[in-house]
Structure 1
Amino acid sequence: MFTGSGTLYLILSIAELVIGMLGNAFIGAVNCLEWVKNRKISLADCIITCLAVSRFCYLLVALFDSYIMALFPHSYGLHKLSISVIILWSVTNFVTTWFATSLSVLYFLKIAHFSHPLFLWLKWRMNRVVIGLLVFSLFMLTSDFLLLDSLTGVLLYVYGIDKSNLTLYSDESKIPDVKKLILHGLNYLIPFVLTLASLLLLFLSLVRHTRNLELGSIGSGDASTKAHKKAMKMVLSFLFLFIIHLLFMQVSPWLYLVSQKSKLIIIFFTLALNIFPSVHPFILILGNSKLQQTASRVLWHLKCHLKRCLILMIMRVSNLS
């Protein structure tokens, strides 16, 4: 599909996806080792681990997709390959979206402070509410899965494949496929609304809590105040990346349909679409004391190892000279 820009696209895509996979693999490995060591795991750590695993799978599919798009674009003319990539990408993206939504709802119920009876009722049943959301996502995944086969024609049209070689695409089927594409996008409306509402309400609660601490003559250096301000930064970063991901995910198919011959647009939107699953793991690491301390130790050991390797190289060069 790409000519001169193919190499640049592949390099940028591999760098972005591999970095994201390393971050997600680190989160999954740390939490799994902690789980094995203590033989128990909190619901938050369990969701974060599942989110990291699902994102790793998502990025792995995206990496394979980028490789095929850049080097073997006409391979998408194979019906089995195209169907497999579309299903894997859609399912992993849907699963990561719902795990992220459940995590945002869990943080909201766990950290926020409201006196409304409905909020208190939900807070007392926090674990059941989050698990209920995940069970509900399975029914949503079923309806999303049923739309995938009918969307194959539109998604193949996005890649700009020669339609004369495809038996599953026809101009007459373009209109109903676009309608299915709208329904496919609406499946992400519920997790988006839940996440946006949870994060905004959590932000409001944190602002009110900080204001109450300041009015109560507690200095801004109070540990609770610092923790809440740190949580605000985490929430804003998460909200910003999540909105970007959903925006590009909903807008990109329509832009592809309009300008499928513009390779730069496809490059830009493909790279932007993977920012959220690639960057957000590092925000989770910085916001989690356990993950942050483990990451600091790993980086320290790597730094020491690199220094030893550098010293050995210098000694070998000096001996040779």
Structure 2
Amino acid sequence: MLSVVEGIFLFVAIIESILGVLGNGIIGLVNCTDCVKNKFSMLSFILTGLAISRICLIWLIIINGFMQLFSPDTYSSGKLIEYISYMWAIINQSSIWFATSLNIFYFLKIANFSHYVFLWLKSRINRILLLLVGSLLISWLLTFPQLVKSFNDHKMKTRNTTCPFKTVKSEYFIHQVLLNLGVIFFFILSLITCFLLIISLWRHNRQMQSNATGFRDPSTEAHVKAMKVLISFIILFILYFIGFAILMSYFAAPENKLLVIFGMITTTIYPWGHSFILILGNSKLKQASLRLLQQLKCCEKEESLRAT
């Protein structure tokens, strides 16, 4: 049984997951409709893929957390942990790849640098994104053999010792670093592009402020807003990896349920928080979400009238 504090934290994690599914569902639906109605857009494709991968990621975090909390024996034994690990490798890397691609897309479209390397990359934005697709496939190809080897080693040591977990525990975190090399690469690349874009926006904002005549330029406000969005994304992105590390530390302290729930909360903040940042920063997504809320209110009123 869970304590009162653990129950409250678990409730928060569930609310976060519901908000994340709703927010990413709106993003995916709006951009997928745009791809069907209009011509193919690289930005719509990235946002649709990002939303779908994050919905799958949220479900996987919640299922994984519930299995660790309420059925730890079933979770740690048998094939279940292997299946979850394979799904996690695909979904986690895909989610971070789409986020990195989105950051690179905005960086090459919005940033303003005079360096010839940046201008060369800017003129070849579609090729850069195709190159990133290749890097994702390479990351998968490198990850799956490591996963298979890790599970085979674990099975061999389980047969040869009466206390397998203590033998494997010291090697577990090394395996995790090797398994997430692709994720670390995308994470670093995403942070670099975000910081460069913030520098570009900050320089442009200073130039516009020096040329301003006392009135607040709408373009200046747009740049300030963009910088706030990027800083928020960086904070959420770092929180996601902190939460991921907390969930991995469960294997060092499997009896600590509060640690698992806190890891669920910290990890889920990123996929739902960033989705609402994207919605608030995009007029089309904001209008779609407002229309959805109005339709829900109308449905509630109709049901109340029918009940009376």
| Range into which the TM-score falls when normalised by the shorter chain | 0.7 to 0.9
TM-score by length of 1: 0.84
- How has the CA–CA distance of structure 1 residues 134 and 219 changed in structure 2, closer, same or farther, with 3 Å as cutoff? farther
* Contact 1:214 1:220 survives alignment (8 Å): no
Provide Cα deviations, 1:147-196, integer angstroms capped at 9, x if missing partner: 2234459999xxxxxx89x9994544444444322323433321121111
Other-structure match for 2:62: 63
Matched, 1:247 2:247: no
- The Cα shift of 1:146 comes to 2.1
- Unaligned 5+ segments in structure 2 are none
Distance 1:77 1:184 in 2: 19
* Amino acid aligned to 1:249: F
The whole-number CA distance in structure 2 between the counterparts of 1:192 and 1:267 is 24
Structure 1 gap ranges (5+): 157-162, 317-321
The change in CA–CA distance for 1:206 and 1:77 in structure 2 (over 3 A counts) is closer
Equivalent residue, structure 2, for 1:98: 97
Which structure 2 residues correspond to residues 8-157 of structure 1 after superposition, within 5 A? 8=8, 10-38=10-38, 40-152=39-151
The one-letter amino acid of 1:125's match is: R
Q: Call closer, same or farther: CA 1:301–1:219 in 2, change over 3 Å.
A: farther
1:280 aligns with 2:238: no
TM-superposition CA deviations, 1:259-303 (whole Å, max 9, x none): 333221222112211211122111111111211111122222323
After TM superposition, list the pairs within 5 Å mapping 1:100-249 onto structure 2.
Answer: 100-152=99-151, 169=164, 171-217=166-212, 221-249=216-244
* Counterpart contact for 1:13–1:66, Cα < 8 Å: no
The residue type equivalent to 1:300 in the other structure is: Q
**More relative contact order in 1 or in 2 (CA 8 Å, sep 6+)?**
2
Change (3 A) 1:75 1:167: farther
Pairing 1:267–2:261 present: yes
> What is the RMSD of the two structures over their aligned residues, measured on CA atoms?
2.8
Q: Is the 8 A contact 2:243 2:265 kept in 1?
A: no
Structure 1 window deviating more from structure 2 (195-204 vs 260-269): it is 260-269
Question: Partners in 2 of 1:56 and 1:155 — Cα distance?
Answer: 30
Which one-letter code corresponds to 2:198 in the other structure?
F
The 1:298–1:141 alpha-carbon spacing in structure 2 relative to 1, beyond 3 Å, is same
- Matched letter for residue 242 of structure 2: L
Alpha-carbon separation, structure 1, partners of 2:62 and 2:280: 25
| Distance change (3 Å), C-alpha of 1:87 and 1:46 | same
Structure 1 residue 222: deviation in Å? Answer: 2.4
1:43 deviation in Å? 1.0
How much has 1:33 moved relative to structure 2? 1.5
SS in 1 for 2:300: helix
State the secondary structure of the residue aligned to 1:189.
Answer: helix
Where do 1:288-303 residues align within 5 Å? 288-303=282-297
Q: Could you report, residue by residue, the CA deviation over 1:219-273 in whole angstroms, capped at 9, with x for unpaired residues?
A: 55323222212211211111110111123324542x3344333221222112211
Identity %: 37
Tell me if structure 1 keeps the 8 A contact 2:58–2:271. Answer: yes
Secondary structure of 2:212's counterpart equals coil
**Any residues of structure 2 matched to 1:300-315 within 5 Å, and which?**
300-310=294-304, 313=307
On the 8 A contact 1:153/1:177 being kept in 2, the answer is no
Moved more, 180-189 or 204-213: 180-189
Name the count of aligned residue pairs.
304
Amino acid at match of 2:104: V
Distance 1:12 1:199, change over 3 A: same
- The answer for the alignment partner of 1:159 in structure 2 is none
Q: 1:16 to 1:102 in 2, by over 3 A?
A: same
Q: CA contact under 8 A between 1:153 and 1:168: conserved in structure 2?
A: no
- What secondary structure, in the 3-state scheme, does the structure 1 residue paired with 2:114 have? coil
CA–CA distance in 1 between the matches of 2:301 and 2:29?
26
Q: TM-score, normalised by structure 2?
A: 0.87
Structure 1: distance between partners of 2:150 and 2:245: 14
| Residues 259, 82 of structure 1: alpha-carbon distance in 2 compared, 3 angstrom cutoff | closer
